[in-house]
Structure 1
Amino acid sequence: MIELNPTPQNAHQIARRQAARRRARLRLLKNRLRNPAWTFLRNVAVAPASWRREHWILGGTAVMLTVLVGVIMPTFASATRSEPAGVALTTLTLELPPLPAEADAAIAALAANGQNEPDWKISRVKPGQSLSDIFREQGLNASDLQRALDAQEDASALRRIRPGDEFAFDIAADGSLTALRFDRDEKTRVTLAFSADKVAESIEDRAVERRVEVAHGVITSSLFEAGDQAGMSDLMTLRLANAFGYDIDFAQDLRQGDSFSVIYDEVYREGERLRAGDVIAATFINQGKRFTAIRYTNAKGETLFYTEDGRPLRKAFLRTPVEFTRISSKFSSGRMHPILGKMRAHRGVDYAAPSGTPIRAAGAGKIVFRGRKGGYGNCVILQHNGKFTTLYGHMSRFAAGKVGQRVSQGQVIGYVGMTGLASGPHLHYEFRIDGKHRDPLTVTLPKEEPLPATELARFSKGAAPLLAQLKLVDSVRLARRN
């Protein structure tokens, strides 16, 4: 503050301060003239080396002090901690539950051979192998296999083996079989303990569970690629396609942008994935049209897929009775015959497929013709519910069956070939109503009857939470896209 009327003493102090300021400005000016590059914010890169070393030394000292405190303090805390007073412990002897008699006998048989824990050698069944082949690979003879078969009341797992099945062998140093282990089914493991005079069987129950999964996919290139992107196995994707196979022709109806949501389960055993389960419920949007499939076991014990209103998705007839690569010729009132070289009507649809591809009955019916029939070559004709008949031509060979025998929908009745007037392997398929030909690709197929009212309530109660979950999945995916 500047006083307007300073006293003589104050005036003397002010004069001294002003003189000190002038001397400081003069020194600063002289320093600036001697060191024109000098600044208060010196660049570390051009600072003297001694200045940087001092800072490194100070920083290193601070780090060392921090480490010492971290090491010394916990030790000091442990040293000053008092241990609680000793607690008296009481030891109890608990009896183990008794083992099943069969397991006891198996363990005793193994112990009699001088073994406590079997040294299992695992053999997995390969395509075309028999169980006798596997026994020979292990250096065992037919009498060992016969003893294993005779020791069980249910030897079906040994008589009907499949590729991928596993058999475990415990073989003694002298080459004799001491134990055999295998799975009778998904839930049951069997161990056979061999001794000189008998074979003891023990059975172990294995925990199997079904884990429910939810997936959503959008078609960009193919159904299987979309299923893979959704985390589904190829088998589960195929089961999804089979569920909607009566309404959607996945060979020619699928479009980019079609989507699906599916609830399915996977089978796990003892925490490990065992196999694909079943489709429980699903929706499929194909060319803007929504289809729904809900798995349900009806009062007759049939497990089928139903629509939301309880009508079976299964139709009386399959739309396509063969897995094909392409449609080589459609239904037409006139086309140039590839063999005869002249115009004539084509009263069916030709599905090109490799020779030997299975041909399935489009619907349940009775075989009314089975044999050679002119230009059709090897041919089968089925009669369905009075007015419907289907014809299958150019077969390479027939499946088991004879005239008059009834077949179920989807049953194999023959195999693709090129017998008769055919320029390549394909199935010629005809659909007739009251003897008149209809285009198999466009004919309206009869529907199955819906669930009776007494059953519909139970179906609706089980379907409601599944439909709600599917709608939630659809809405979440739609929101993410938007």
Structure 2
Amino acid sequence: MQPTGDGSRRKQRFRERLDVLHDTSLHQRVKQHLPTGRWTRRHWIHASLFTTIGILVATIVPGFSHIPAPSIVESTTTLHLPLPHQASTGTATEMGDDGWEVVRIKSGQTLSSIFSDMDIPASVMLEVMKQPSAKASLRNLRPGVEIALKVPEPGKLQGLRFDADASHRVELTLDGDAIKENVVERESTTRTVVLSGKVGRSLNRSARKAGLTSANIRSLTDDIFKYDIDFNSDLDADDRFSVVVEQTWREGELVSTGPVEAATFTVDGKLHSGFRFARPGHKPEYYTAAGRPLKKSFIRMPIPYARLSSRFGARKHPVLGRMRMHKGVDYAASTGTPIMAAGDAKVQFIGWQRGYGRTVVLDHGQGTTTLYGHMSRTANLKKGQRIAQGTVIGYVGSTGLATGPHLHYEFRVNGVHRNPLNVTMPPPQPLAGSDMVAFKDYTSSALARIRTVEDIIYADLDDAPAQPQVASTGQPASKNKKG
């Protein structure tokens, strides 16, 4: 029996529904029950059932993804709180318990900018600066300096506090147009201490941890031991230093550290020492334990850390191309490197001198002169001017007959050229008479301090890691905030 026309239409609609389910597993299940030939009533019932289930699944399941979450109503309360007055960004402030707002000065900061940040009128600042103490202390504020302001409400300055010097604090109280000044003396204590440490990985780092200032470290490397110790190659981690300085303390805070009064440096077991001493009518200098000045008559190298590029003697001239006596030594360095006077001297010549280019000639007395050639420029010197050893007299260049930037340095005795590298330098005159007696009395006390501290610190630390130490002598021990 063939299907009727209505049956053919139903079959066509069913085929279309199957096309919708083509990519689903439901389609695969239906295909398993489809006959290859004619359909029976049972086949049509199964097909209708599967189609109905498919439609229901496609309609109901996606609806669950749109179920709205239950809304949660939160109870909130808004409180209006007054905010304290704050300085604008850029001014580091700290509010104290007593109402004073402490400002630590940053680089480039001025009193005017601080007042502006706090909305204090410029007219108030002008009245404050009329005070002599304020004018002297607040005109040029250095970074790190602290001042305190009392500003009970925005724009109203009630008080200003600052340090006039290490021992005096000034407090200005503003009441209307009147300004009251009160100077408070701050008690300070000066102690003589011995700062000691081992070189470790870095002399500079160890010395700073021990409590030495940058100026103290420069004194060690540039004034006291530069003639006896090569700080670039001679030092080992176990080498140690001890330095006698005066420290000023105020209210438990280290205020300042004075110059190096005495120092010892032990390198490879050899002890080097230096002592600061001022003869009557002379500036302080550093001397050995025997009373001989540590500053030599002449510096071997007028340029620190330069490379020796040509020695004294006969050579083929790099510009002229023929054999010619080289009457000095050459130090290669970058253009603009400072050149120092080899010793105390009087300027004999400054200007252009043939193949030497820009040149300076110094007269050191007793027939000794030094010449410095090929400079890019000279310092502000005048002929006949007296200068001290180490004074910058010019800068490295390549003027005159030169193939590159370097210093040509000559050493002459009574007009005869000598090799600067091996010439015997005249020794400086030692202390004598009453100066020597006073010096010996001073050095014995300083050495006793150093030995006492080193005997305590290094007695059991020969195999221990480098540890910077500080000790006070003659007074109660103090805690050094720097190390």
For the criterion TM > 0.5, the same-fold answer is yes
> Which residue of the partner structure matches residue 201 of structure 1?
181
- In 2 relative to 1, CA 352–236 (structure 1 residues): closer, same or farther, beyond 3 Å? farther
- Answering whether residue 280 of structure 2 is matched by residue 299 of structure 1, we say yes
Task: Give how far 1:152 is off.
Answer: 0.7
> Which residue of the partner structure matches residue 102 of structure 1?
none
Q: Kindly provide the CA deviation profile for residues 114-148 of structure 1, in whole angstroms up to 9, marking residues without a partner as x.
A: xx95532514141x666656665665676655544
CA distance in 2, matches of 1:320, 1:478: 39
> Which residue of the partner structure matches residue 441 of structure 2?
461
> Which residue of the partner structure matches residue 435 of structure 1?
415
> Which residue of the partner structure matches residue 310 of structure 1?
291
- In 2 relative to 1, CA 328–452 (structure 1 residues): closer, same or farther, beyond 3 Å? closer
Task: Give how far 1:155 is off.
Answer: 4.3
Q: Kindly provide the CA deviation profile for residues 255-280 of structure 1, in whole angstroms up to 9, marking residues without a partner as x.
A: 54883431333443322234543323
CA distance in 2, matches of 1:222, 1:341: 46
> Which residue of the partner structure matches residue 97 of structure 1?
none
Q: Is the 8 A contact 2:277 2:284 kept in 1?
A: yes
Task: Give how far 1:298 is off.
Answer: 2.7
Q: Is the 8 A contact 2:244 2:446 kept in 1?
A: no
> Which residue of the partner structure matches residue 390 of structure 2?
410
> Which residue of the partner structure matches residue 99 of structure 1?
none
- In 2 relative to 1, CA 161–436 (structure 1 residues): closer, same or farther, beyond 3 Å? farther
How many percent of aligned residue pairs carry the same amino acid? 38
- Answering whether residue 241 of structure 2 is matched by residue 250 of structure 1, we say no
Which structure's residues are more often helix, by fraction?
A: 1
CA distance in 1, matches of 2:131, 2:299: 46
Please list, as runs of the form range in 1=range in 2, the aligned pairs for 1:34-433 lying within 5 A after superposition. Answer: 117=98, 119-126=100-107, 146-152=126-132, 155-171=135-151, 173=153, 175=155, 177-206=157-186, 207-210=188-191, 212-217=193-198, 223-224=203-204, 227=207, 235-245=215-225, 247-248=227-228, 250=230, 254=234, 256=236, 259-265=239-245, 266-286=247-267, 290-300=271-281, 302-322=283-303, 324-335=304-315, 343-422=323-402, 425-433=405-413
Q: Is the 8 A contact 1:235 1:276 kept in 2?
A: no
Alignment TM-score, normalising by the size of structure 2 = 0.61
* Secondary structure of 1:279's aligned partner: coil
Structure 1, unpaired ranges of 5+ = 1-115
CA distance in 2, matches of 1:141, 1:372: 59
Amino acid at match of 1:430: E
Give the number of aligned pairs: 365
* Secondary structure of 1:250's aligned partner: coil
> Which residue of the partner structure matches residue 7 of structure 1?
none
CA distance in 1, matches of 2:349, 2:202: 39
Greater relative contact order structure (CA < 8 Å, 6+ sep): 2
- In 2 relative to 1, CA 144–257 (structure 1 residues): closer, same or farther, beyond 3 Å? same
Q: Kindly provide the CA deviation profile for residues 346-380 of structure 1, in whole angstroms up to 9, marking residues without a partner as x.
A: 44444455554443333332222223334444332
> Which residue of the partner structure matches residue 76 of structure 2?
none
* Secondary structure of 1:464's aligned partner: helix
CA distance in 1, matches of 2:219, 2:154: 50
- In 2 relative to 1, CA 193–260 (structure 1 residues): closer, same or farther, beyond 3 Å? same
What RMSD, in angstroms, separates the aligned Cα atoms of the two structures?
4.0
Q: Kindly provide the CA deviation profile for residues 158-184 of structure 1, in whole angstroms up to 9, marking residues without a partner as x.
A: 455544434444456453554443333
Structure 2, unpaired ranges of 5+ = 1-96, 464-483
- In 2 relative to 1, CA 392–201 (structure 1 residues): closer, same or farther, beyond 3 Å? farther
CA distance in 2, matches of 1:256, 1:262: 15
- In 2 relative to 1, CA 480–403 (structure 1 residues): closer, same or farther, beyond 3 Å? same
Alignment TM-score, normalising by the size of structure 1 = 0.61
CA distance in 1, matches of 2:410, 2:140: 39
CA distance in 2, matches of 1:398, 1:472: 49
